[in-house]
Amino acid sequence: MKIKVDIDLCQGHSVCLGEAPEVFDVVDVDDGYPRVKVLQANPPEELRAKVERAAKYCPNSVITILED
């Protein structure tokens, strides 16, 4: 699986960080809202459930899971 994030729509709610801290971080930026940072663009399969929850519960729906 591969993770795609629409950074422009991210408002840094940190839901993804709460669901999958191995895969996501949220960092401060100079021009507005904190933004998600993807730590593992191709996370291992054992993290799929966590990544799916992060995508599902993201308030701005900015996370997409692509299949390799």
Residue 29 is predicted with a pLDDT of 86
Residues in the chain: 68
Amino acid making up residue 34: P
Q: How many CB atoms are located within 10 Å of the residue 66 CB?
A: 10
Which CATH fold would you assign to the domain 2-66?
Alpha-Beta Plaits (3.30.70)
Segments of the chain scoring below 70 in pLDDT: none
Residue ranges covered by each domain of the chain: 2-66
DSSP E strand stretches across 1-68: 2-5, 24-27, 35-38, 63-66
Q: What is the mean pLDDT of the chain?
A: 95
Residue range 22-31, pLDDT digits in tens = 999 999 988 8
Residue 30 is predicted with a pLDDT of 85
Give the global pTM: 0.91
Residue 41 is predicted with a pLDDT of 96
Cα–Cα dist 46/29, whole Å: 31
